[in-house]
């Protein structure tokens, strides 16, 4: 029956969410936060694009399109559950300094539910706003629009999240809270946290006009540049 079919789908979504959340818990300290983040967001982006295609060509795909859409929803939930689902809660508990951790985590939690509410309240408006003419779906004579455009819109948001994450999601695997806080205090950039050869924090630099040499001193290494003609050469001298 229709009710039984809907219950199976909802149960399936919940089961996939639970299963891949457990997978995320297992891999988060083995693969790291950034790898799970980029894997999940890439899968989410692809799933949303394909979902949009399924709905845009639903008339041609028929029943196969419906089941393919359900399968893609499962894929979306799986990639969400291994990445931004649990990682959002984990990272906001790690990146703030001790004095601000409670306040920062609270603001982070509030932001999650605030944007969840925005998505819930605006979804159908976005569906109608981005419905492609001629692809409308009707139920009992009512125009429900077509969610293809909405899914593509969310795919663009997911793509933007990938770009944003490259610069601002830190890798906190194996790094103590004290070291994370110390790194922020020294002006470190999020994407270089926990890298084996991450750029140091600028302490001083000297310029010698005689031999046209610039020495830049960082807290974990020194860089030396010298320029001859149009060729710029660099040497790295690592210091402990």
- The full DSSP string for 14-78 is HHHHHHHHHHHHHHTTTT-HHHHHHHHHHHHHHHHHHHHHHHHTHHHHTHHHHHHHHHHHHHHHH
Query: What pLDDT digit, counting tens, does each position of 133-192 carry?
Result: 888 888 778 888 899 999 999 999 999 999 999 999 999 998 999 999 999 988 889 989
How far, in Å, CA of 187 to CA of 190, rounded?
9
How many Cβ atoms sit within 10 Å of the Cβ of residue 200?
A: 19
How far, in Å, CA of 39 to CA of 80, rounded?
10
Do 190 and 169 touch, CB atoms closer than 8 A?
yes
Short-list 237, 99, 89, CA closest to 177: 99
CA 136 from centroid of its chain's CA atoms: 31
- The full DSSP string for 140-160 is TTEE---THHHHHHHHHHHHH
Pairing between strand 213-218 and 202-208?
Answer: antiparallel
Query: What pLDDT digit, counting tens, does each position of 18-41 carry?
Result: 999 999 999 999 999 999 999 999
pLDDT of residue 224: 41
**Cβ-based burial of 96 (10 A; exposed 0-12, middle 13-18, buried ≥19):** buried
Rounded to the nearest 10°, the torsion over CA 195, 201, 207, 213 is -10
Q: What is the mean pLDDT of the chain?
A: 81
Do 180 and 166 touch, CB atoms closer than 8 A?
no
Tokens 């990445």 found at:
83
Q: Which of 30-34, 73-77, 121-125, 215-219 has the lowest mean pLDDT?
A: 215-219
Report the predicted TM-score, pTM, of the whole model to 2 decimal places. Answer: 0.76
Do 89 and 189 touch, CB atoms closer than 8 A?
no
How far, in Å, CA of 22 to CA of 86, rounded?
10
């Amino acid at each position: 029956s229709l009710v039984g079919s809907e219950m199976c789908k909802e149960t399936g979504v919940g089961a996939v969410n639970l299963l891949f959340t457990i997978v995320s818990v297992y891999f988060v300290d083995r693969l790291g936060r950034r790898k799970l983040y980029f894997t999940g967001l890439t899968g989410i982006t692809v799933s949303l694009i394909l979902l949009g295609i399924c709905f845009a060509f639903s008339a041609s795909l028929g029943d196969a399109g419906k089941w393919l859409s359900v399968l893609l929803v499962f894929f979306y939930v799986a990639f969400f559950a291994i990445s931004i689902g649990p990682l959002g809660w984990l990272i906001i508990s790690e990146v703030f300094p001790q004095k601000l951790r409670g306040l920062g985590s609270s603001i982070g939690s509030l932001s999650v539910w605030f944007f969840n509410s925005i998505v819930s309240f605006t979804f159908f408006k976005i569906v109608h706003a981005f419905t492609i003419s001629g692809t409308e779906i009707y139920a009992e004579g009512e125009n429900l629009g077509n969610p293809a455009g909405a899914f593509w819109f969310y795919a663009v948001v997911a793509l933007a999240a990938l770009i944003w994450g490259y610069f601002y999601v830190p890798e906190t695997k194996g790094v103590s809270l004290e070291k994370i806080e110390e790194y922020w205090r020294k002006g470190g950039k999020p994407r270089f946290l926990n890298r084996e050869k991450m750029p140091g924090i600028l302490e001083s630099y000297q310029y010698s006009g005689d031999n046209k040499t610039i020495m830049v001193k960082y807290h974990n290494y020194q860089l030396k540049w010298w320029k001859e003609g149009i060729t710029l050469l660099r040497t790295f001298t690592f210091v402990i």
